[in-house]
Structures are given as structure tokens and as C-alpha cells.
Amino acid sequence: MNQLKRIILINSGKVDFYELLLDGNIHFIGTQGTGKSTILRAILFFYNADARKLGISKEKEPFSEYYFPYADSYIVYEVSQESRNFCVWLYKKQNRLCFRFVDGPYERHLFIDKLQARLENQVIENANKQGYKVHRPIYNFSEYRDIIYGANKSMNRFNILQNSSYHNIPRTITNVFLNSSLDGGFIKTTIINSLSDDPFEINLDKNRHHLETARNDYRDVSEYLLHEKKAQNIVSIFNGLLKMEEDKKELAWKIGAAFNYSREKERTLQDEQIAINQQFADQQIKIEKINLEFSTDQRRVQDKLAIVKQDILKANQKGKEYASKNIDQLLIEHAAKPDYEREQSQIKAQLALLTANQQDIETRYQTDKQRLETQCQQQILDFELSLAKEKEKLQQDSTYIATAFYQEKERLLLDQNKKLEEQTSEKITIDKKIREVEFSIESIQKTPFLKEEKDKLKNDQRELSEKKQRLTSQESHARLQKESTVKEGEKEKELLELKSNQENEKLLIKKKTLEMEISQLQADLQALSGSLLEFLEQNKPDWNNSIGKVVSREVLLQNDLQPSISDGRDLYGLYLDLGQLQPVQLSKTGLEIKLSKLTDELKELNNLIQQNLQEIHDQKDKLQKKYNKKIIELTQEIKECEYQLEKTGIDIERCRIDLAELNARSENMKLREIDEKEKEKHNLKAELYKILEFIRQIKQRHQNSIDELESRKRTQEKKVKNLLTELTEKIESNKKSITEKFNTQIKVLEESRNTLLKEKGVDTSEIQKLESQLEIVKGKLEAIGKNNRLIIEYNKDREEYIDRLEDFRQNRKNLENELEHLQQRHSIRINK
């Protein structure tokens, strides 16, 4: 439903800005001077567009001065239709009120900027920027009413009703607005009074050709509608086919785009896979290198740590071994050796003093004793000499084992270095080949494949793009020409309508004057029934020369005077000379003649109006045909441009697809060559990995050989050491046996000496006591002498191991920390 939705007053009616939403529930309540009448008159002016019928008294300012005191005083009416809104903009221009239709809804920023009303050109400029067309100014209120009530077909976008005979509607609205009583009777009376009682005649003879034309037009329209339906079906089916073709093209483009995207994605993923494989191989090489370095460093530290641990173990074993031999007591005894030697000398001196008188017995005793001791020492020496070769052989075996171990170790090291040099040389060669392959891959990646074909397609694509640009420019130019032609046609049509409206307005004014005169004559004729004039014409034929000179028109037409004829010649007792007076020119015949004449004039005027309308219609048709021809030509040109544009777009797309396929082919060629190089690189890296693995195996085998050699050396050394221990124990056992045998003989010799001395009167008990002491001291000295080698070895071992135990432990801790640091660094480097 079309209706007035909103009214906005800007610098109008004594207010700066006022906006009122007319939603059907508006009530005006307030005291005098609050603006109720101001709003009502502004709303009423929208419907009747008549400043004289707004109920404004003469004492107040006219409508135009009150509502539009400034150049930026506006009233904006927003009208709501079913699917759109538009605005009617009312303002004063060149001291005349004018309307403008704005083809868009009301927006405040179009008319107001920073609390100030915009000027006319600013409003139009902003509306055009917003995409709203602002139509020409309308100064003629009748034209405005024709538009909003639907009588103007060219502007039917802006109507609120569809009624060409709308003239009674503004009257009804005006009567409703200007009266306070709204009961049913008043509204009914208002509508009746608003209806026009002007006669309306249709000249069928004159309009016969219009009826024939309408009949022919109806027949043509019926035939057209019949064919239009078929044409619409054909167009619909053809549009469906076109849409299917467009969908097929779009689908093909999407499939091609998806295929190209997938192929590009595949190539990207292949490149990424190659890069990842390369990174993986590089990382593997780095990891192998790091592992190799770590293994070397770890082995080096572990070897040092094993030596230190062996030294600590040996130092602990030596300490325990010497502790089990009571080395501290032996050291104390060894430190007391000079005291024992002095004590031995003193005891020998005392014995010599006691046996001084029995020197021969003592000498013989000492001689025999010395002989026995010498024999004992000789037997022990002979036994040791008998085993010396075996001991020397064992010592030589120990030396040979050590020498053979170091020789074999040196040989294994030389063999390993020789093999490593060979593999290192091969590794350097393969690394060089890998770098050459990588350089070839980079060269292939930078080399453009199928360059000439690509350049040709790009050149074709560029030419097609230029052609498309030219066609686009041509199409835009044709559209602008078409739009300009349409506007020019509309402008000429508007000028024609304006001229026609001006002529018709004069004729309508004249027609309205005639209608008013005819209406007055008809009213006068109707008033003749029972009037004084009718009585006089019937009873006093010469009334014009008597009463007709002194009576008024109103009295003659009065029908309630009840006239009668008398014999007197006077008028109410008064005699008048009427010769100088003119009679009233009023008679039924005269009125009928005048009415007939005016009616004929009105018919001629209606015929003239119809003739003007027909001429205007014919001129419009001629004008329409004139511009339609140009518009059709321009439309055909636009369609041709659109067709060529579509064809060019297809050619461009075909070039793009061909170029994409060519790019794909070139990429495939490049990828094939890169793949071949990558395979070659992969094979070289596999060979490099084998070489690195072989180097690791060589080092591992070398280490295993060293470990096996050391194990064999330790086994052989242990065997020789056990044999030496057994030989030493055997020597010590035989020495002990020989010593005990000779000690028994010496004891017998000593008893024999003591017997002889006792017979000579010598105190043998003192001698035995001293000799016992001497034996004790001698035994201690012998024990000290036996432990001399042990003490020497102890001092050596103490210097090399026992006293350095804390240093060994500190070295072990440092090496363990170094090994842990190596492991941590290795983990960090691997995780990178």
C-alpha cells in the first residue's frame, strides 16, 4: 500500500528541524502555539498542493513565506510503496515553490551536514553519489497532483493512487483536514460536496475512430499476448540453455582451475618431498658425522677413563695387597735395621769377649758354622740358578707379549688408516659429484622450458586483453550514448508535455470558465420555475419597458413573491418616468440561447482539447519512434559488443588454459629432469651412506680387534704372571727347606761347641743367651733383607699408584663429567 510515511521540516515553520513518523497512530494534543496546525497544513499541502486551500487566514503569513523563509528551508515527504520508498522535496526556488522527486528513501545526511542544512546543489550531488536520481523541479502544482494521483503515466513510479479522475480526492482530503467534526454524517456530506456535478459528455461520432483503433489495438494486443506467451516460453527455454552453457563453462573452468590447482599442489608437494628427502639425507649425514665424532670422542674419553679406573683399581689392589702383608710394620722394621745391625755387632763383641780364652774352639765353631752357611747359600744359589733360565724365559715371554701387542696394535692402526684413506678419497669424490648434481638441479630450476610457445600465448593473451578493453570501451560508449539518447528523448518529451500542459492549461481555464457560466445559466433556468420572471413573461409580455427597468435580477428569479396583476399603472403608489432606464436583459429564451451558445463553445473547446491531446500523442509517438530507432541501434551495438566480449573472454580463457597446460608441460619436463638428477643424487647419497657405514664398520672392527688384542694380552700376561708366582713360591719353599736343614746342622754344631766350652769352664748359659739374642737379631735382619725387594716395590707402587689415588679419582670424575657433557652435546646436536 502506498502512503505518506514521514514528514521532515528543515528550517521551516519556525523550527530548525522536526521529523514526524506517520504510522497511522498519530494524535496531536497541545495548547495553542505548539505547532499542531503547522504540521497539519504541511501534511495537507502534500495532498492538495494548493496554498489557498490550507485554512490560512488573511491576517497570517502566506504559506510560502511562513514555511520557506530561507533558501535552505525544506519540507521533505517520504512515501512508502510496497517494495521501495521515495521522497518529495518541497522548497522555494527563484521565489517560487517547486517540488522535486528523489528516487530513494529519506536519509538525514542528504539534507543536513553538521547540524546545518545543505544547499540545493549539495543535496542533489549527495543524492547522486548515493545512487538516488533527483528529478527536475516541478513548479506547476497541477502537474505535481497528476504525478502523485497517477494521472501522469511517465512518472507513475511516484504515485500514491492510480486514478486519472482524481480531482475530487484533494477536495475531500482538504475538507477533512480543515474541519474538526469527524462524525459519519459530516464525512458523507463532505464526500458528496466534494463530488463535481459538471456534466461529462462523450461524442461517440468523434471518438468512433478511437474505438476502432482501440478495437484493432485490442485484437493486436490479444494476438501479441498469444505470441508473447510462446515467445516467453522460447526465451525462457533459450535462457535455460544459455544458463546451462554458462554453467557448463563455469563448471569446466572450475574443473580446470581445480585440476591446475591440484597439479600445482602436486608439484609443490613433490618439491617439498624432494626438499624434505634432501633435508632428511643431509640430516642423516650430519647425524652420522655427529655420531662418528661422538663415538670417537666417547671412545677416547672411555679409553682414558678405563685407564684411570684401572689405575684406581690397581692402586686399591696394591693398597690392600701391601696392607695384607703388614707393610706398615715392615717399614718400621726396615727403618730399625741400623739399630739391629749395631745390636748384632755388640752381641758379637760380647761373645768374642766371653770366648776369648777358648779361641780355637770358637774359631773352629765359627769356621764350621761359616762353612755350613756357605753351603746353605750355595745350595740356595744353585737352586735359584737352576730355575733362573725358566724365570728369565717367563720374563722374556712377558716382554714379548707386550712387544707383540704394541706391534700388532700399530699394524692394525696402519691397516685402518689405509682403508680409511681409500674410503675418504671415495667419499670426497662422491661429495663432489653430489655438489655437481645439486648445481645441475639449480640450473634446471632456473632454466625456462617452452619459452617460445609461452611467449606466443602471452602475446595472444595480451592482444585479446587489448581487444577486450577496446570492446569494453566501445560498449561503455554505446551505453552512454543510449543513456544520453534516452535522456534526450525524455527531455524532449518533457518539453513537449510542458508545452502541451501550458496550452491545455489555458484551454482548461477557458473550459472551466465556460462550465461555470453554463452551470450558472442552468441554475438560472432551473430557478425560473415559479419565479417572477416566468409570471411576467406569461402575464405581462411588455414587462421589460415597465417593471423590467426597476427590478433586479435576483427579484426576477425569486420564486416566493406570489405575483398578481392589478389595474394600476404605478408601482406601490409611485409614478416613475422609466424612459431613461434600461430594462433588465433577462429572459428564458435569452438564457436558453446563451446556454446553447456556451454549450456549443464548450463542445468546440473539448474538441480542441481532444485534438491537442491527439496531436501531442502523435508527436510523442513520432518522437518515441525517432528515438527508439537510435536506441535499438545502440542496443544492437551493445549486444554485439557483449557477444564479442563474451567470445573474447572465452578466447582469453582458452589462452589462459593453454598457457596453464603449457606451464604444466614445462613444469613436468623440468620435474622429469629434476627427478632424474634427484635419483642420481639419491644414488650418490646411498653410495655415500654405504661409504660412511663402511668407515664406521672399519672403525668398529678396528676397535673390536684392539679389544680382542688387549684381552689376549691380558690373558697371556696373567698366565705368565701365574707361572712366575708359582716359580717364586717354589724357590721360596726350597730355600726354606734348605735353610731349615742347615739350621739343624748349625744347631748340632752349636751344641757341640757349648759342650766343649762348658768342659773348659766357660759359662755357656750367657753365651747361649747372647747367641739367642744374636739369632733373634739376625733373624730380624734376614727378615728385613727378605723384605727389601717388597719395600722397594712398595715405594715404587706407592709413588706410581697409592699416593696418586686421589688424583686418579679426580681424573675419573673429570672424565665422567666430560663423557656426560659429550652425551649432552650429542643429544642437543641430534635434536637440532
DSSP 226-248: HHHHHHHHHHHHHHHHHHHHHHH
The predicted structure's pLDDT at residue 10: 94
Tell me the three cell numbers of residue 566.
Answer: 392589478
Q: Give the CA distances from residue 804 to residues 314, 613, 808, in Å, rounded to whole numbers and listed in that order.
A: 11, 136, 6
Query: Which range has the worst mean pLDDT, 379-393, 658-672, 704-718?
Result: 379-393
pLDDT tens per residue across span 233-268: 888 888 888 888 888 877 888 787 788 788 788 878
**pLDDT tops 80 at residue 115:** yes
Amino acid type, 679:
K
Averaged pLDDT of the chain: 77
- Higher pLDDT residue, 264 or 731? 264
**Reduced DSSP (H G I as helix, E B as strand, rest coil) percent helix, strand, coil of the chain, to 5:** 75, 5, 20
Q: What is the torsion angle, in degrees rounded to the nearest 10, for the CA atoms of residue 765, residue 767, residue 772 and residue 775?
A: -160
Tell me the average pLDDT across 305-314: 80
Confidence (pLDDT) at 203: 59
Q: What is the pLDDT of residue 105?
A: 92
Q: Name the least confident of 101-115, 170-184, 413-427, 481-495.
A: 170-184
Percent of the chain with pLDDT over 70: 77
- Per-residue pLDDT for 734 more than 50? yes
Q: What is the pLDDT of residue 578?
A: 46
- Confidence grade of residue 90 (pLDDT, cut at 50, 70, 90): very high
For 780, counting Cβ atoms within 10 Å of its Cβ (0-12 exposed, 13-18 middle, 19+ buried), the class is: middle
Q: How many helices (H) and strands (E) does the chain have?
A: 18, 7
pLDDT band of 92, cuts 50, 70, 90: very high
Residue 788 has pLDDT above 50, yes or no: yes
CA dihedral (169, 174, 180, 186) in degrees, to 10, reads -40
In this structure, the number of other CB atoms found within 10 A of the CB of residue 75 comes to 24
Pair 723, 394: CB distance under 8 Å: yes
C-alpha atoms less than 13 angstroms from C-alpha of 631 in its C-beta half-sphere: 14
Rounded Cα distance, 318 and 326, in Å: 12
Q: Distance between CA atoms of 532 and 553, rounded to whole angstroms?
A: 10
Residue 379: closest CA among 723, 731, 729, 725:
731
State the Cα angle at 617 between 611 and 618, rounded to 5°: 90
Calpha distance 695→304 (Å, rounded): 23
Per-residue pLDDT at 354: 56
Region of poorest pLDDT, from 151-165, 320-334, 575-589, 604-618: 575-589
DSSP assignment letter at 138: B
> What is the average per-residue pLDDT within 11-36?
82
Residue located via cell numbers 760380647:
350
Q: What is the DSSP string of 615-628?
A: HHHHHHHHHHHHHH
Most confident of the following: 232-246, 319-333, 529-543, 571-585: 232-246
pLDDT score of 818 more than 50: yes
pLDDT band per the 50, 70, 90 thresholds, residue 275: confident
- Identify the pLDDT of residue 169: 78
> How many Å apart are CA 345 and CA 774, to the nearest integer?
9
The CB-based long-range contact list for 295-301 (8 Å cut-off, 24+ gap) reads 295/696, 295/699, 296/699, 297/822, 298/819, 298/822, 298/823, 299/703, 301/815, 301/818, 301/819, 301/822
CB contact burial 526-559 (16+ within 10 A = b; e otherwise): ebbeebbbbbbbeeeeebbebbbbebeeeebbbe
Q: Are 510 and 539 in contact (CB under 8 A)?
A: no
> Which residues, including other chains, have CB under 8 Å from residue 607's CB and lie 6 or more apart?
203, 206
Q: Which residue did the predictor score with more confidence, 576 or 80?
A: 80
Question: For residue 123, what pLDDT is reported?
Answer: 92
Maximum mean pLDDT: which of 8-17, 588-597, 688-697, 786-795: 8-17
Contact partners, residue 502, CB within 8 Å, separation at least 6? none
Q: What distance in Å separates the CA atoms of residue 49 and residue 708, rounded to the nearest whole number? A: 124
pLDDT at 173 over 50: yes
- In sequence order, the 6+-apart residues with CB closer than 8 A to the CB of 489 are 623, 624, 626, 627, 631
Residue 655, burial from CB neighbour count under 10 angstroms (0-12, 13-18, 19+): buried
DSSP string, 159-190: -S---S--THHHHHHHHHHT-S---HHHHHHH
Q: Tally Cβ neighbours within 10 Å of residue 804.
A: 16
Residue 810 carries which DSSP code?
A: H
441 by Cβ neighbours in 10 Å (0-12 / 13-18 / 19+) ranks as: buried
How far apart, in Å, are the Cα atoms of 118 and each of 113, 122, 123? 6, 6, 6
Q: Which of 553, 559, 551, 567 is nearest to 532 (CA)?
A: 559
pLDDT for res 59: 80
What angle in degrees, to the nearest 10, is found between the helix axes of 359-446 and 588-759? 160
Q: Where are the alpha helices (DSSP H) in 560-587?
A: none
Structural contact between residues 104 and 132, judged by C-beta atoms closer than 8 angstroms: yes
Confidence of residue 691 (pLDDT cuts 50, 70, 90): confident
Which CATH class, in words, describes the domain spanning 3-164? alpha beta
Q: Are 22 and 55 in contact (CB under 8 A)?
A: no
Other beta carbons within 10 angstroms of residue 252's beta carbon come to 12
- C-alpha distances out from residue 772 to 353, 414, 616, 747, Å: 16, 67, 176, 11
Q: How confident is the model at residue 211, as a pLDDT?
A: 67
Task: Determine the 3-state secondary structure of 767 from DSSP.
Answer: helix
292-296, 461-465, 764-768, 781-785 — which one is most confidently predicted on average?
A: 461-465
Sequence-distant (≥ 6) Cβ neighbours of residue 800 within 8 angstroms: none
Q: Are 545 and 578 in contact (CB under 8 A)?
A: yes
What residue segments make up the domains of the chain, in order of their start?
Answer: 3-164, 453-658
The three cell numbers of residue 797 are 707402587
Q: Are 163 and 124 in contact (CB under 8 A)?
A: no
Cβ–Cβ under 8 Å, residues 468 and 652: yes
Q: Of 65 and 652, which is predicted with more confidence?
A: 65
For residue 262, the surrounding DSSP H or E stretch is helix 208-324
Q: What pLDDT is recorded for position 582?
A: 46
H helix intervals, 544-587: 553-556
pLDDT for 763 equals: 53
